[in-house]
Amino acid sequence: MVHAHAHEFAFAVVIRVLLAFSPLESFLQDDNQLSSSLTSYSRLLEGVYLFRQHGIDPYTGGTFRHSPLLLSLFSTVIPATRIPPKLLWTFFDAVSAWALVNIWRSRSNTRKHERDLRIAAIYLINPYIFLPCLALSTSTIETTLQLLVLLFASWGQSSPSLLALALLVHLSLPAILLLLPVLLLLLSDPLSHLASPRPFPQRLGKCILLFVEFAIFFVALLFASTLAAGGWSWMRNTWGAGILLPDLTPNPGLWWYFFTEIFDHFRPFFLAVFSLHLSVYVVPLCIKFQHDPLYAGFLLLGILGTFKPYPTLSDPGLFLSLISLFPETYRYLRYPMVTTLLHLHALLLLPLFHHLWIGTGTGNANFFYASTLVFGLANGGALLDCTWAGLRVAIGEEKDGWVVTQE
């Protein structure tokens, strides 16, 4: 059975390689739903060209917003041709599926499980995941790092987990919201405790040491990035983009259209409100799910996928794939059919209205934004349903136990 699963996984990866070398990549690479201005491979190639071929600082313009770490990597180690990136992106996706399976094994406390192949398949065939991968969006790299952070934390390996998180934050600043649940996970275990809530043990000293270790990794990468970029200007173009929102290129998120229509003198206020809105969920979720920090991290990934400034389809795609890790919550989901139909509806509307507006010019921005609102509603519905189910498990288990006792 194990060998059969390995062969099926290898077959799925081979199919992904074949898709990567199909003509689909040329159609998908510049799709705003799959690549944002912060994750576009075309913009990365432009920055590499300016930096390596002409010695021009790509951050002096207003289009290059990738981390200097990626700029250095693709300027030196990885050739800026088509074939190596296609193989690399497929490798990242395979690593992500492997990490997801191993997180499940850690949570279920098993070495092999019959659900392993199903979990890998759910991830690999998820259109929200493999389409950005085919488009060579760097959001695929961020997804891999997010799963590696959770995997190493589930294994109790603090240094690899915190190093991966520091690297992830350098690529995508909103990922800093994952720091608290990762610290809690390193101080506890990944096993399911949703059915038996308990107070988190007081381990403040260990938590401070872990935070200091993360800070050391983060500062080291900060200086490495500054050295690679030749100055500090990269910070405004990369991290600052997620706060100041200078690029209003359409994407599947909820920010771009609102700030296109808002008056300029209201812009600083609403930028502060939208940015703070992301952070207000961290502490309440970590307090409420302190007994199961992996579930708290899962919900925060859903919040990032729904409300971050420059999302792509891979952000909510990761959240939806992670649902497979928590089968104990399935019976307590209230509206799974409604959420599924909303996602199917959005999956049809997003490319259709995007093509009507950008492709044929017969629509306008309202068409596409209407589809992103449906998409946001679907993501929000899934997030609320999973939050309810995670809380309801304990009550349901107590009730089931009471019924058995009475009988």
Residues 368 and 353: their CA atoms lie apart, in Å, by 5
Mean of pLDDT values over 248-265: 89
Overall residue count recorded for the chain in this entry: 407
What's the pLDDT band for 322 if we cut at 50, 70, 90?
very high
**Of 239, 225, 171, 229, whose CA–CA distance to 55 is shortest?**
229
Residues 340 and 99: their CA atoms lie apart, in Å, by 25
The residues near 24 (Cβ < 8 Å, ≥ 6 apart) are 134
* CB burial readout 247-284, b (16+ within 10 A) else e: beebbbbbbbbebeeeeeeeeeeebeebbeebeebbee
Residues 165 and 176: their CA atoms lie apart, in Å, by 8
Tell me which amino acid residue 20 is.
Answer: A
Residue 327: both structure tokens together: 């089968």
Task: Write out pLDDT tens, residues 75-84.
Answer: 887 765 666 8
Mean of pLDDT values over 178-202: 89
The residues near 196 (Cβ < 8 Å, ≥ 6 apart) are 291, 394, 397
Predicted pLDDT of residue 96: 94
Residues 265 and 263: their CA atoms lie apart, in Å, by 6
Residues 65/245, Cβ–Cβ less than 8 Å: no
Q: Which residue has the higher pLDDT, 349 or 29?
A: 349
Residue 15: both structure tokens together: 């199919």
Residues 49 and 55: their CA atoms lie apart, in Å, by 9
* Helices and strands of the chain, counted as H and E runs: 20, 0
Share of the chain above pLDDT 70, in %: 93
Predicted pLDDT of residue 81: 60
Quick count: other Cβ atoms within 10 Å of Cβ 209? 12
Q: Is the pLDDT of residue 372 over 50?
A: yes
Predicted pLDDT of residue 401: 47
Residues 161 and 182: their CA atoms lie apart, in Å, by 8
Task: Look at the block and give the residue holding tokens 């690549």.
Answer: 35
Q: Is the pLDDT of residue 359 over 90?
A: no
Task: Write out pLDDT tens, residues 105-142.
Answer: 999 888 877 788 889 888 988 899 989 998 889 999 99
Predicted pLDDT of residue 32: 86
Residues 354/32, Cβ–Cβ less than 8 Å: yes
Predicted pLDDT of residue 86: 84
Residues 42 and 19: their CA atoms lie apart, in Å, by 19
The residues near 391 (Cβ < 8 Å, ≥ 6 apart) are 288
Instruction: Give the highest mean pLDDT range of 47-61, 163-177, 388-402.
Output: 163-177
Task: Look at the block and give the residue holding tokens 């040491």.
Answer: 209
